[in-house]
Amino acid sequence: MENRAKHLVFLGCGLLCAAASVFAVAGAPSAAEGTQGGQSAPAANAPAASAPDFPVASGARLAGDDKQTRFILDLDRKIEFRAFPLADPYRVVVDIPQVNFQLATGTGSAGRGLVKAFRYGLVMPGGSRIVFDLTGPVKIANSYVLDAANGQPPRLVLDFEQIDRTAFVQALAPESRPELKPAISDSTTATIPAVTTAALPPVTTTDPRPLIVIDPGHGGIDNGTQSGDQTEKNLVLGFGLALRDRIEKSGKYRVVMTRSDDTFIPLNDRVKIARTQSAALFVSIHADALPRREGDAQGATIYTVSDKASDAEAERLAEAENKADAIAGVNLTDEPTDVADILIDLAQRETKTFSNRFARLLMDEMKSTVRMHKHPLKSAGFRVLKAPDVPSVLVEIGYVSNKGDLEHLVSENWRNKAVGSMVQAIDTFFAKRLATAGPAK
């Protein structure tokens, strides 16, 4: 529960800002029970009688043209909402209480008029979100919830109207205006709520065992890659939980998950979890996909951070993974600038040595049990690997776009073998560290 509480603080700061206070996580039902994004969330085994009674969204559609576009969401009751635009990329975010989305698969993937596409899903327990990707700057000309009438259910209606960039930027909340942001944002300025992670004391514990942070990628509104009804967010969560259980069974390490259910966690908050807990190792778990035209790669790949990507595929992948926050409607103008990145780089050298060492150990162990990519060690500018003081790797456990890999990814037997070799690599890594450098952090 402590970790969950921490996540909510992180979310309140980094993601939802003012929106978090609107919903105040009423009731905080378990996020894992929700059905999100029209995708196959893990089936809720609880009997229906005990399932939380969330509002149900049963239909969503777009109408209009590239001057005026209307969005309509059919609901089973009226809900509160808060809609706001974000710049760079142009998006509109609608925060609503947790909603059970029962929309046809593929809803939102095709746009119309001013909307390129939209996504929907959980961003925190008690809070869902709809994110619209826009073709250009728009204003929210109208937004309201209609009562049921004339045989129509209650509806959430948003009207978007084309405007120019100047008018768009003026309509943004002050903290969201890209032009007005200082080059390096001070995390204590008034644009961020008073409770920030910087103000949190470091986690102190008398437990001397090294702490490993496991980071299942994506979650909630961000499905990651997908193939059929398999989503990356669910595959990597299952893998991460299995890895946690196996590591904890050894009794040698403490483990913290960045997420243990289907909740969205912003990239920076994943890094902050590792840093505030003084983690000795950070392992991010993903499952990649290649666009059709790029062939049919297969096998697991282990990534470390670097300024310059080791190859074009690594660069594309880091770019795709770094988009997670934009996908979930995080205000990217709050993100650190390149100047800050340079300072981080200087502090990162020793950490990089350890990250690379762990990546090699992991490859040696995994290659005996798991099919590896033909170039299994790569590097690129993954934001989630940028903790300057925590050795970090990102493991793409396989390609959901490859039939053979996908069969492995959903196989419990394969997962057990892969998890086993990861634990072996972790043991070797810490055995060496303890022998050469004294106690790990």
Alpha carbons 23 and 195: distance in angstroms, whole number: 17
Query: Shortest Cβ distance from residue 170 to Zn ion (Å)?
Result: 36
Cβ nearer to Zn ion, comparing 75 with 362: 362
Query: Around Cβ 368, how many Cβ atoms within 10 Å?
Result: 10
Contact status: 216 vs Zn ion (CB under 5 A): no
Cβ nearer to Zn ion, comparing 85 with 121: 121
Q: State which residue has the least CB distance to Zn ion.
A: 286
Please name the residues in contact with 321: beta carbons below 8 A apart, sequence gap of 6 or more: 217, 286, 382, 383, 384, 394
Cβ nearer to Zn ion, comparing 286 with 352: 286
Alpha carbons 256 and 97: distance in angstroms, whole number: 28
DSSP output for 309-344: -SSHHHHHHHHHHHTHHHHTT--GGGS--HHHHHHH
**DSSP character at residue 14:** I
- Judged by CB under 5 A, the number of residues near Zn ion is 3
Contact status: 219 vs Zn ion (CB under 5 A): no
Query: Shortest Cβ distance from residue 224 to Zn ion (Å)?
Result: 4
Query: Shortest Cβ distance from residue 320 to Zn ion (Å)?
Result: 7
Could you identify the residue written with the tokens 């972790």?
A: 426
Query: Shortest Cβ distance from residue 153 to Zn ion (Å)?
Result: 35
Cβ nearer to Zn ion, comparing 226 with 355: 226
Cβ nearer to Zn ion, comparing 85 with 216: 216
Contact status: 286 vs Zn ion (CB under 5 A): yes
Binding segment (CB under 5 A) for Zn ion, from list 158-166, 220-228, 301-309, 338-346? 220-228
Alpha carbons 159 and 144: distance in angstroms, whole number: 9
Query: Shortest Cβ distance from residue 232 to Zn ion (Å)?
Result: 5
Binding segment (CB under 5 A) for Zn ion, from list 23-31, 89-97, 283-291, 353-361? 283-291
Query: Shortest Cβ distance from residue 218 to Zn ion (Å)?
Result: 6
Query: Shortest Cβ distance from residue 188 to Zn ion (Å)?
Result: 32
Element (H, E) at 115: strand 115-124
Query: Is cis: bond before 266, omega within 30 of 0?
Result: no
| Single residue of 127, 137, 217, 391 touching Zn ion by CB under 5 A | 217
Please name the residues in contact with 322: beta carbons below 8 A apart, sequence gap of 6 or more: 267, 381, 382, 383
Alpha carbons 178 and 334: distance in angstroms, whole number: 9
Cβ nearer to Zn ion, comparing 197 with 258: 258
Binding segment (CB under 5 A) for Zn ion, from list 55-63, 154-162, 284-292, 417-425? 284-292
**Contact characters 166-205, Zn ion, x per CB under 5 A:** ----------------------------------------
Binding segment (CB under 5 A) for Zn ion, from list 128-136, 169-177, 280-288, 306-314? 280-288
Binding segment (CB under 5 A) for Zn ion, from list 162-170, 217-225, 295-303, 371-379? 217-225
SS percent in the chain: helix, strand, coil, step 5: 35, 25, 40
* Residue 64 one-letter amino acid: G
Sheet holding 115-124, edge to edge: 82-86, 91-97, 127-134, 115-124
Report the length, in residues, of the chain: 441
Please name the residues in contact with 233: beta carbons below 8 A apart, sequence gap of 6 or more: 39, 216, 217, 218, 219, 220, 222, 223, 224, 262
Cβ nearer to Zn ion, comparing 168 with 282: 282
| Single residue of 125, 210, 224, 240 touching Zn ion by CB under 5 A | 224
Binding segment (CB under 5 A) for Zn ion, from list 183-191, 214-222, 341-349, 416-424? 214-222
> To 10 degrees, what angle do helices 232-250 and 412-437 make?
50
Footprint of Zn ion (CB under 5 A): 217, 224, 286
